[in-house]
Amino acid sequence: VPVTGSGDAFDALGGAINTMLDRIQSLVSELRLTTDGLAHDLRSPVTRLKAALDRAMLETEDPVAVAALESVASESEALLDMLSTALLISRTQAGIGREQLHAIDVQAFLLDLSEVYGPLAEDQDFTIAVEAEPGLTLNLHRQLASQAIGNLIENALRYAEGGKQITLSAARKGETVELAVADDGPGIPPDRHAEALRRFGRLDPSRHSGGSGLGLSLVEAVARLHGGEVALEDNRPGLRVVLRLPVLAM
Ligand SMILES: Nc1ncnc2c1ncn2[C@@H]1O[C@H](COP(=O)(O)OP(=O)(O)O)[C@@H](O)[C@H]1O
Ligand SMILES: [Mg+2]
């Protein structure tokens, strides 16, 4: 026989909690929409600003003015890039692109990327090695996956000071494939991993200019689009960023 009094109380509590959870969920998605809307709305004025700067640069030969205009123009270009990446992250988080996953040979995929980034790496005295098990296939969104791995290679080139080698690897672990980019630079201390993954999170902005702090957020969004997750690990020495993707991601 149910204890009627407390049953009602529990039902009421459960109802209240559910209402609260619904409310929180809708607030969170509202917040996300607001940010996306903002990023979207900011693109047009910043594009106009950039065009006005370009026109102004044609109107003057004063070197001081030209230098100032060039610096503002390059800042607005960086801002436009940041807005595009923020929008791409939001779209990816919303699952847009999930219908474009195709079976891709992982070893060939990583070899292609090592070829694309090889010359850039060489210029900075890095070599890119590929250690991939042959015969691994993943359902990948080729463009987003390339951009994610590309972001990680660019991070290694920028932050792995004193390092020499970047390793792209792929290995099967049970029902997942571990896709990883590792370097032999200073790495990131474990207590700062969460901060590095956060949107706009940059650990040492004074030493490295130009970043937006969105690179790893995009990597995380791309891992999730594939039904996987991303983790930062100690490469002893260096940073190892691993995407754990389900073998049968559809
Ligand atoms: N390979 C790496 N080694 C050391 N620190 C790194 C590495 N990759 C990223 N970081 C740190 O994590 C921060 C966030 O990286 P990211 O999200 O790509 O943003 P961004 O490169 O635009 O700053 C970087 O600013 C840097 O401080
Ligand atoms: Mg980056």
Q: Which pLDDT value is given to residue 127? A: 98
Counting residues of the chain whose pLDDT is more than 70, the rounded percentage is 95
Give the integer Cα–Cα distance in Å for 181 and 241: 5
Give the integer Cα–Cα distance in Å for 70 and 77: 10
Q: Which two tokens stand for residue 59?
A: 């109107």
Q: Residue with the nearest Cα to atom 27 of ligand 1?
A: 203
- Give the nearest ligand 1 atom to 217 CA: 17
Q: Residue with the nearest Cα to atom 21 of ligand 1?
A: 211
Ligand that comes closest to the CA of residue 187:
1
Q: Indicate whether 42 pLDDT > 60.
A: yes
Q: Which two tokens stand for residue 46?
A: 């910043």
Q: Which residues line ligand 1 (CB under 6 A)?
A: 151, 155-156, 159-160, 183, 185-188, 196, 201-204, 211-217, 239
Residues, beta carbon < 5 Å, ion ligand 2: 155, 215
Q: Residue with the nearest Cα to atom 6 of ligand 1?
A: 159
C-beta separation of 165 from 129 below 8 A: yes
Q: Which pLDDT value is given to residue 2? A: 46
pLDDT in tens, 55-96: 999 999 999 999 999 988 888 888 889 889 988 998 999 899
Find how far residue 195's CA is from the centre of its chain: 13
Give the integer Cα–Cα distance in Å for 97 and 106: 19
On the CB side of 231, CA atoms within 13 Å amount to 8
Residue 75 CA to ligand 1 center (angstroms) comes to 20
If one residue of 149, 155, 168 were mutated to test the ligand 1 pocket, choosing by the most ligand atoms within 8 A of its CB, it would be 155
Q: Indicate whether 182 pLDDT > 70.
A: yes
Residue 207 CA to ligand 1 center (angstroms) comes to 12
- Give the nearest ligand 1 atom to 204 CA: 27
Q: Check residues 27 and 223 and name the one with the higher pLDDT.
A: 223
- Give the nearest ligand 1 atom to 160 CA: 3
Q: Which pLDDT value is given to residue 17? A: 78
If one residue of 198, 216, 233, 242 were mutated to test the ligand 1 pocket, choosing by the most ligand atoms within 8 A of its CB, it would be 216
In DSSP notation, 89-122 reads: HHHHHTTTTGGG-EEEEHHHHHHHHHHHHHHHHH
Q: Which pLDDT value is given to residue 3? A: 46
Q: Indicate whether 180 pLDDT > 70.
A: yes
Find how far residue 14's CA is from the centre of its chain: 37
